[in-house]
Amino acid sequence: MAPIPQDEDCLYLNIWTPETAANFRGSIPVVILLEGEGFVSGLVSRFPGQDLAAEGVIVVSVTYRLNVFGFFCLEDSEARGNLGLLDQYFALLWVRENIELFGGDPRSITLMGHSAGAASVMYHMTSPRTAGTPSMQLIKTK
């Protein structure tokens, strides 16, 4: 069995917009997708957003650090771990601050996840840092 490729250079956003996005500056609902296959590995290309964008929403897929790069926990109070959740948090902030440039409504953001991404949605819903960042949440399980 071939090893699963891993790399710390993994912080990316993919954004799909409806063809008419330029006509609706700042008013299109946004869906942010979090993947994660058990916080171990993940592929952002697993869920291409063009089909959902064709239905009239902006789709943003987020990559974040996984496995030991993102969830190695230390007892050191200066570096507690869960950097993957911090990556997601900063992606949420970036989307909220910049999505209008793509025609999206920063007040209408749905955070959606699959597998570990669904768990991440729950963590963000209960975290003091991110609670209330998206205006809606949706959880999808396998």
Please state the domain extents for the chain. 24-139
Rounded to whole angstroms, how far apart are CA atoms 35 and 86? 15
Q: Give the pLDDT confidence score for residue 82 in this predicted structure.
A: 80
Beta strand 28-34 pairing with 13-16: unpaired
More confident residue, 139 or 90: 90
Q: How is 84-129 classified by DSSP, letter by letter?
A: HHHHHHHHHHHHHHHGGGGTEEEEEEEEEESTHHHHHHHHHHH-TT
Q: Give the pLDDT confidence score for residue 128 in this predicted structure.
A: 76
Least confident of 3-7, 18-22, 88-92, 124-128: 3-7
More confident residue, 86 or 8: 86
Q: Give the pLDDT confidence score for residue 32 in this predicted structure.
A: 92
pLDDT in tens, 26-76: 789 999 988 777 665 566 566 778 999 999 999 999 888 766 666 677 776
Q: Give the pLDDT confidence score for residue 85 in this predicted structure.
A: 79
Q: Give the pLDDT confidence score for residue 58 in this predicted structure.
A: 95
Rounded to whole angstroms, how far apart are CA atoms 100 and 102? 5
pLDDT in tens, 70-120: 667 777 666 666 877 788 888 999 999 999 999 999 888 888 888 888 888
CATH of the domain spanning 24-139, picked from 3.90.550.10, 3.40.50.1000, 3.40.50.720, 3.40.50.1820:
3.40.50.1820
Q: Give the pLDDT confidence score for residue 121 in this predicted structure.
A: 84
Q: Give the pLDDT confidence score for residue 139 in this predicted structure.
A: 52
